Structure 1
Amino acid sequence: MKPVWLCLPALALPAGAQPAPAPADRPITFPGFNGFLLHASVRAGGAHPYFAVMVAGSGPTDRDWSNPMIPVASHAGRDFAGWLQAQGIGSLRYDKRFIGSRDPKLDISLDAQMGDLKAALAAARALPEARGKKLLLVGHGEGALLSLLAAGGADATLLLALPGRDMATTIKEQLRPQLPPEKAAANLAYLDQVFQAIRRNQPTPEPGTDVYPAMGRLAKGLMAPETLDFVRDTLDLDPWTLAARLTGPAAIVWGDRDVQTWRPATVPASYHGAVIDLPEANLLLRRETRPRAELSPASAMTAYGDSTPLADLAPLAAWLKGLK
């Protein structure tokens, strides 16, 4: 069933009256792994019994889910925090340790990033906005995978756009439809060589003449020295093995127009939480009305910006309402 969209008339305000200002973020800092200072934004909630800690997605994605690779201004994480606030749920969202850093020697290992996430949960518990609340861990994309590793530190888990397979398989599935059939075998075989080199701590393999330059650049990015340890530690993590360990309330959410992470054909029976499908929702939970078959990763980004509203999140709102 497609979501119903309502056009609401503008409110007639008394002369001289101004609309109430939107609730503002409260900036804070807190010490992460090994005391590294992390920057965050806090929003107060309402009567809902939970307070959310939000973990952003992969790469240079900041606390607002902004990413320099997105060609339009995009703050979907900030907007989602506002949506949570409208459900009565306050939140803390934080920048990963490497956001804004130019230090190539900065520790961004899995241990460091997991330490930061656990520090964010501890910081949230100490906030006045979270006093008396349970914690809801909200991860997006790669942040959902990291949230699975840290779920024991929260009371409930919400996984948005969780990769349905391990990282290596997900990357191949993302790239396969972008490759011409006559070039796919050579390029995907090269990608497998890169994955093996990562696992075995070997040098970056040289691409053959049938391998696209973009694939060679991807290999160098995956094997960049400053991020190689993190990639190696997460490359083969199976999200379903981790999801089977969840003990508290949990939900996995996918948009049906997401061309980067999507619901697998079968959700393993070992996962006992909720599965929520959002119609006409893209990777960033914004509204996408174009058919998924017509979208590519590049064209999909045109609907990632702030001018595109969030999708109809009513199915997620219903799950949140039921959290006790």
Structure 2
Amino acid sequence: MKRPLTIICIIVSAFVLMAGCRIKEAEQVDENLKEVSSLKDIEGKWEGDIKIPNQPLPIIVHFTKEDGTISIPVQGLNQFPLTSVKLSKSDLFFDMKIQNQQITFDGKVDQEKISGTFAQNGQEYPFELLKKSNQEVAEKESGEVVQADLKKGTINGLLETPKNEGPFPVMIIIAGSGPTDKDGNTIAIPGKNNSLKMLAESLAEKGIASIRYDKRGIGENMKLAGKEEDLRFEQYIDDAAAWVQFAKKDRRFSKVGIIGHSEGSLIGMAAAKKTETDIFISLAGAGEPIDQVLVKQLEEQLTPALLTESKDILTNLKQGKQVESVNADLYSVFRPSVQPYMISWIHYNPIELVKELKIPVLIVNGNRDIQVAPNNAKALHKEKGDSELLIIEKMNHVLKEAPADREGNLATYTNPELPLSPGLVNGILEFLNKQDITSNDDPLK
């Protein structure tokens, strides 16, 4: 029998309040745990997760000398203030108060790691945080910081440029779904792969500039998160389009293209359609709408009854109708606050979008991609008859060469030392060269 989804009611703010959750009163902290005026020993940024079985919840905690904040990107929570932070030698306690109720973290500090117990709603789970090193912070600050204008506010990005003089062609690199940052890393998985960072640096070496950016609600653009019920897929499209407009106005750039990875492929297609983008490249992009993707994913996790309910919910969402009553076991996927976003997302069909593009298109996938199978790329290529198709024999979803076994494949997701899969960058450069979009100094030209 298939197991139901493992769900926990994590209350992070009013807009992600989950029905039926009751928060237990926080247990009294040991009287020997004395609050101190300075938290210098733990000051800085810590990342990790609450280790809910089969469904870890990524969290980011910033400690200052006096207090701290917590962010939960997958639930749209941005730097929510901690109620208290108490440190005594290696004993650390901090909590967050929502509507006069408390969620607690009780743990120990061991050099660069904090581990302990998260408690809420009568349930307890381990949590672990690792401190971000100065080296990692420095890595994120490499390149030129740039900003694009949005209808409300600005969005930050990182520009990589070749060493030679311009003008250069520039590619807007769009990351995949979930809490994935501009470098291709996600706090949902401990460790890094740096795939998109490597791609940007490799293109720069070949005379191609690039702009990559954290999506709204992630990393440097956490401030753009907003409330979950107000998020729409069109906002991601508008963000990508804003970068195209930014690049078009910059005299350093001769041509502007988009490279979309995974979900970023769908965002990129829609952004390319509404802007004067010169070229589009899909990396591991889905070849079917998200409702069909979700059904396939849920088939592996749900009981028949829950799967039937999921399909009914998706049918309603596709018709633009929200569903008020959702089984508790499906709440993390179909909670009411996320349904408006899903309604907006579900109407974008990559098959329809790709064939509407009137620009050169390259579709890339790896034969060892266990998240987006190569038949997705083939489906896109079939619809866009004049596109080019590149299937790389041993490449996986994070653009690395991977072994055939699943465990070995997943191990590449957290190994930043592995280079990009052979053939990827040269395949992209050869395509750009055919379209006369590569730099004059490109050695392949």
Structure 2 counterpart of 1:171, one-letter code: L
- Secondary structure at the aligned position of 1:121 is classed as helix
Compute the displacement of 1:140 (Å). Answer: 0.9
Equivalent pairs counted in the alignment come to 281
* Closer, same or farther: CA 224–42 of 1 in aligned 2, 3 Å: farther
Q: Hey, what's the Cα distance between the residues in 1 that align with 2:306 and 2:228?
A: 31
Q: Which residue of 2 aligns with 1:120?
A: 243
Instruction: For 1:236-275, list aligned pairs within 5 A.
Output: 236-264=347-375, 267=379, 269-271=382-384, 272-275=386-389
Q: Which amino acid aligns with 2:262?
A: G
Looking at structure 1, the residues matched to 336 and 323 of structure 2 have their Cα atoms a distance apart, in angstroms, of 12
Q: Do 2:259 and 2:282's aligned partners in 1 also have CA atoms closer than 8 Å? A: yes
Deviations 1:18-66 (A, max 9, x none): xxxx99411122222x232211000113579621111111122121122
Distance 1:138 1:48 in 2: 19
Amino acid corresponding to residue 429 of structure 2 in structure 1: A
Structure 2 residue matching 1:248: 3-state secondary structure = coil
TM-score (normalizing by structure 1): 0.78
Match of 1:151 among 272, 284, 299: 272
Paired with 1:114 and 1:234, the residues of 2 have a C-alpha distance of: 11
The one-letter code of the counterpart of 1:31 is: D
Instruction: Give TM-score, length-normalised by structure 2.
Output: 0.58
Deviation at 1:83, TM superposition (A): 1.6
> CA contact under 8 A between 1:144 and 1:159: conserved in structure 2?
yes
Q: Which residue number in structure 2 is paired with residue 16 of structure 1?
A: none
Relative to structure 1, the CA distance from residue 222 to residue 318 in structure 2 (aligned partners, 3 Å threshold; closer, same or farther) is: farther
Change (3 A) 1:192 1:105: closer
SS of the residue 1:233 aligns to = helix
Is 2:363–2:389's contact at 8 Å kept on the other side of the alignment? yes
Matching residue within 282, 301, 315 for 2:410: 301
Deviation at 1:228, TM superposition (A): 2.9
> Given that residues 229 and 340 in structure 2 are in contact (C-alpha distance below 8 angstroms), is that contact kept between their aligned partners in structure 1?
no
Distance 2:161 2:332 in 1: 42
Alpha-carbon distance in structure 1 between the residues aligned to 2:312 and 2:257: 39
1:35 aligns to what SS in structure 2?
coil
Which residue type is aligned with residue 202 of structure 1?
A: V
Tell me the SS of whatever aligns to 1:138.
strand
Which residue in 1 is equivalent to 2:323? 202
CA contact (8 A) 1:193 1:205 kept: no
Contact 1:260–1:283 (CA under 8 A) maintained in structure 2:
yes
Moved over 4 A (4+): 46-49
If asked which structure has higher relative contact order (CA below 8 Å, sep 6+), I would say 1
Q: Is the 2:143–2:158 Cα contact (8 Å) retained in structure 1?
A: yes
Among 73, 76, 84, the residue aligned to 2:195: 76
Q: Is the 8 A contact 1:70 1:301 kept in 2?
A: no
Structure 2 stretches of 5 or more lacking a match?
1-138, 437-445
2:148 corresponds to:
30
Query: Do structure 1's residue 136 and structure 2's residue 288 form an aligned pair?
Result: no
Which of residues 42, 47, 51 is equivalent to 2:159?
42
Gaps of 5+ in 1: 1-21, 208-212
Contact 1:62 1:95 in 2 (8 A): yes
- Range that drifts further, 44-53 or 92-101: 44-53
Cα RMSD of the aligned pairs, angstroms, is: 2.7
Counterpart CA distance in 2 for 1:48 and 1:159 is 24
Q: Tell me, in whole angstroms, the C-alpha distance in 2 between the residues paired with 1:283 and 1:224.
A: 30
Instruction: Indicate the percent of aligned positions where both proteins have the same amino acid.
Output: 21
